[in-house]
């Protein structure tokens, strides 16, 4: 088989260059992975081969924040502290880019490989994040399957005819999500216009109750309502003005676990919003 040999000879230097440029791609797949961020927890649980993932953060087992809470009980829980993670002797640590910066620095100084993942702010980010996780864990095919699953689920949601319908998301402490956020993309995929984007908000910003009432959205989406322990943060949902507006708009309560982190299950949020918008259109104004 001269051709193959020739091909191998040709590609060998290229492979070496690639190995230098992308050590992750060439290194053998990690065998003892510890994740210390909810979003990397969920992605790793979806992608890792059996036995490859050793520990996930304690948040992964919280049914309010995590879609994969039942699965999380199969792994050891960690609390994102350098000492406990070091003692687990991982060959790879997965972390987020925003939190636990000091811990990540310390782990790297201790000689542990740490891969950081930025939060996903759009469905494109989700696809890129899944593929990178596949690369890092040496499970590219699994990652591609998940991306295909996401696209299939998105296509299955009939974006419907929601032309000109507006939606507002209202979190605890009267926060909302503007442009450049995952929920903004979720609304767009459901065929809705985000009123926070209309106000020129970018990222998470406070939406004063007055402005929410004034903007009179067609669909009022709430999140963060699932906690059983009381806090003032949720009092906004009981404010008489908010309740009056919720009665005027269509109302959808979106479990935050679908949108805190991006994954194929985020398509469920699109489906819920689209369904809410359909119901709103059918109801007499």
* Interface positions with another protein (CB under 8 A): 172-174, 205-206, 208-211, 213-214, 216, 224, 227-236, 238-241, 244-245
Q: How far is the CB of 33 from another protein (least distance, A)?
A: 26
Helix (H) or strand (E) holding 179: none
Query: Measured from the CB atom, is 8 or 206 closer to another protein?
Result: 206
Q: How far is the CB of 72 from another protein (least distance, A)?
A: 17
Query: Measured from the CB atom, is 7 or 208 closer to another protein?
Result: 208
Q: How far is the CB of 268 from another protein (least distance, A)?
A: 22
Q: How far is the CB of 142 from another protein (least distance, A)?
A: 32
Task: Work out the number of other CB atoms within 10 angstroms of the CB of residue 213.
Answer: 15
For the chain, give percent helix, strand, coil, nearest 5: 55, 15, 30
User: Nearest-CA neighbor of 71 among 98, 33, 43?
Assistant: 43
What 8-state DSSP symbol labels residue 59? G
Query: Measured from the CB atom, is 2 or 230 closer to another protein?
Result: 230
Query: Measured from the CB atom, is 51 or 200 closer to another protein?
Result: 200
* Maximum alpha-carbon separation in the chain: 80
Q: How far is the CB of 278 from another protein (least distance, A)?
A: 25
Alpha-carbon gap, residue 8 to 75, rounded angstroms:
41
User: Nearest-CA neighbor of 251 among 230, 267, 275?
Assistant: 275
In 4-163, the DSSP E strands lie at 33-35, 53-57, 76-78, 92-96, 114-117
Alpha-carbon gap, residue 69 to 56, rounded angstroms:
11
In the chain, how many H helices and how many E strands?
A: 14, 11
Q: How far is the CB of 191 from another protein (least distance, A)?
A: 25
Q: How far is the CB of 124 from another protein (least distance, A)?
A: 29
Query: Measured from the CB atom, is 93 or 219 closer to another protein?
Result: 219
Judging by beta carbons within 10 Å of its beta carbon (0-12, 13-18, 19+), is residue 214 exposed, middle or buried? exposed
Query: Measured from the CB atom, is 194 or 274 closer to another protein?
Result: 194
Q: Which residues contact 186 (CB under 8 A, 6 or more apart)?
A: 259, 266, 269, 270, 273
Q: How far is the CB of 45 from another protein (least distance, A)?
A: 21
Query: Measured from the CB atom, is 30 or 96 closer to another protein?
Result: 96
Helix 123-137 to helix 140-156 angle (10° resolution) is 160
Query: Measured from the CB atom, is 19 or 244 closer to another protein?
Result: 244
């Amino acid at each position: 088989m001269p051709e193959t040999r020739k091909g191998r000879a040709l590609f060998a230097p290229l492979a070496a260059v690639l190995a230098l440029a992308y050590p992750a791609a060439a290194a053998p797949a990690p065998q003892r992975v510890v994740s210390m961020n909810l979003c990397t927890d969920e992605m790793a649980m979806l992608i890792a081969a059996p036995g490859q993932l050793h520990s996930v953060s304690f948040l992964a087992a919280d049914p309010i924040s995590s879609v994969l809470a039942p699965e999380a009980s199969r792994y050891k829980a960690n609390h994102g502290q350098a000492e406990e993670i070091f003692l687990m002797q991982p060959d790879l640590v997965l972390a987020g880019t925003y939190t636990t910066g000091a811990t990540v620095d310390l782990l790297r100084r201790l000689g542990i490989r740490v891969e950081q993942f930025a939060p996903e702010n759009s469905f494109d980010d989700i696809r890129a994040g899944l593929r990178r996780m596949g690369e890092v864990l040496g499970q590219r095919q699994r990652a591609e399957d998940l991306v295909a699953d996401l696209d299939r689920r998105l296509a299955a949601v009939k974006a419907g005819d929601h032309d000109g319908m507006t939606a507002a998301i209202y979190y605890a402490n009267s926060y909302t999500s503007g442009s450049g956020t995952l929920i903004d993309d979720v609304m767009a995929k459901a065929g809705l216009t985000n009123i926070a984007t209309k106000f020129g908000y970018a990222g998470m910003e406070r939406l004063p109750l007055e402005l929410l009432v004034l903007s009179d959205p067609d669909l009022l989406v709430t999140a963060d309502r699932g906690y059983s322990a009381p806090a003032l943060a949720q009092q906004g949902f009981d404010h008489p003005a908010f309740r009056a507006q919720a009665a005027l708009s269509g109302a959808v309560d979106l479990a935050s676990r679908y949108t805190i982190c991006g994954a194929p299950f985020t398509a469920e949020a699109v489906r819920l919003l689209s369904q809410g918008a359909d119901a709103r259109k059918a109801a007499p104004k």
